[in-house]
Amino acid sequence: MKDESRGSRLGYQLGFLGFTRFTNILRLAPFAPAIEIRYLPRLLFLIVVSLISAPLRLLEMMIWGQRIQQVMINEAPVFILGHWRSGTTHLHNLLIQDSAFGYVNMYQTIAPECSLIGGSWLQQFLAQLVPLKRPMDNMCWPLDAPQEEEFALSKMLPWGFYVSLLFPRKNQEFFAKAVEFKDDQNHHFHSFACAYRKVLAIATLRAGGKQLILKNPINTARIGVLLKLFPKARFIHIARNPYEVFSSTLGLYQNLGTLTRLQALPPGQERESIAAIYDSMMHRYFTDRDLIPEGQLVEVRFEDLERDPLGELETIYQKLGLPGYDSSLSSFQRYLETQCSYIKNDHKISDEDRNFVNTRWQFAFQTLGYSQRL
């Protein structure tokens, strides 16, 4: 049995950076002057793994390409929305206990274009390298666990949003291209749509044709795009107290940054970076949620989900018209029992950060109905 406490930096970096298309790396050349010398070994690792995995990607395209193109996504996905650290993972893990749902798993996001050709041998190999716990919290992280499809997209597209993990100073630029499709809207949208459909087609194949339930925080700002792709999609938005979101996201930035970045943020810039993306994401969500047809959106709070998970799940199923709550109730209960011993990281917020959040995110407190502390 593997040691669940292992924490190989190499394994984390393979998960976050490995199996990226080499052509995408070349297209990042304009950012090369911003790469710091101390991170050159990380860049070399990114290039080497990309080149080594290239034959696998080619072989998958040759053997599986036509079948992937022919996959029909007959039932529109259910999209879980919400800013990072708002409880999206917990909600996702709960909902996939319903065996009617399929999902994108971590193995697919690590090797998005060779997970089919790699089969079980590649998954078993990666399982020996990738740590069993997420670097930002205490949650277990097996390769068959659900994962954000944005990681896969960011290995398939040169401007996927999570490429900003490499270049954190450029995160708003990547937001503009990967989320708002600015500069060349038609080209970026078409590229995104093709890559996204491929990711979901592979997940559908791996799930035996089941309806997909997906969790990808950056999709919170892509409602219009997702409705173009899937007009009948259902959405679940989960919100959390902005103070908790800020302090936990700050920890996320600090943990992931040490594993992925090719440039460091200037001192104090992490706060501003978090605030700016939250501003853009949540303003876009508050505007675009009105585009969602009636009966296709339900909004929940993390605090309510934590207090009464089964009650909140039942509400979600009822409001979205999803079948299967009663038949999955025992599975939900068993999963919740396994989480009783889970200990969340305790992120304290300083007075300075609280004042910063009060100023920058006042709109969110008002719209989401949370009280500010002075």
3-state secondary structure of 3: coil
Does pLDDT of 1 surpass 90? no
pLDDT of residue 174: 93
Q: Which amino acid is at 244?
A: E
Put simply, whether the predicted model's pTM sits higher than 0.85 gets the answer yes
Domain that holds residue 116: 9-368
293/141: higher pLDDT = 293
Does pLDDT of 344 surpass 80? no
Angle 106-112-113 (CA atoms, 0-180°, nearest 5)? 155
pLDDT of residue 145: 92
Name which of 359, 271, 347 is nearest 373 in CA terms: 359
pLDDT of residue 30: 92
The residue-averaged pLDDT of 286-296 equals 97
Give the torsion sign (CA, 244, 247, 251, 257): positive
Give 7's pLDDT tier (boundaries 50, 70, 90): very low
The residue-averaged pLDDT of 326-340 equals 93
The residue-averaged pLDDT of 2-8 equals 46
213/159: higher pLDDT = 213
pLDDT of residue 4: 41
pLDDT digits (tens, 9 = 90+) for 154-187: 999 988 999 999 999 999 999 999 999 886 667 7
Specify the number of domains making up the chain.
Answer: 1
Residue 3 lies in a domain: no
Query: CA of 106: how far to CAs of 129, 243, 254, 282, in Å?
Result: 13, 29, 22, 26
Residue-averaged pLDDT of the chain:
92
Residue 46 lies in a domain: yes
Residue 193 lies in a domain: yes
Cβ-Cβ contacts under 8 Å for 215 (sequence gap 6 or more): 80, 88, 89, 91, 92, 103, 146, 148
Separation between Cα atoms, residue 92 and residue 33, nearest integer Å: 39
The least confident of 143-157, 280-294, 329-343 is 329-343
Angle 208-142-112 (CA atoms, 0-180°, nearest 5)? 55
- How is residue 161 written in tokens? 């949003």
Separation between Cα atoms, residue 90 and residue 11, nearest integer Å: 23
202/16: higher pLDDT = 202
Q: What percent of the chain has pLDDT over 70?
A: 94
Residue 301 lies in a domain: yes
Alpha helices in 81-135 (DSSP H): 88-95, 106-110, 115-127
Does pLDDT of 271 surpass 70? yes
pLDDT of residue 168: 94
Does pLDDT of 3 surpass 60? no
CATH number for 299: 3.40.50.300
Residue 374 lies in a domain: no
Alpha helices in the chain (DSSP H): 9-17, 22-27, 40-70, 88-95, 106-110, 115-127, 149-156, 171-178, 185-206, 223-229, 242-260, 269-288, 302-307, 309-320, 325-338, 351-360, 362-368
Please write down the HEC assignment for all residues of 282-347.
HHHHHHHHHHCCCCCEEEEEHHHHHHCHHHHHHHHHHHHCCCCHHHHHHHHHHHHHHCCCCCCCCC
Residue 169 lies in a domain: yes
Residue 2 lies in a domain: no
Separation between Cα atoms, residue 193 and residue 187, nearest integer Å: 10
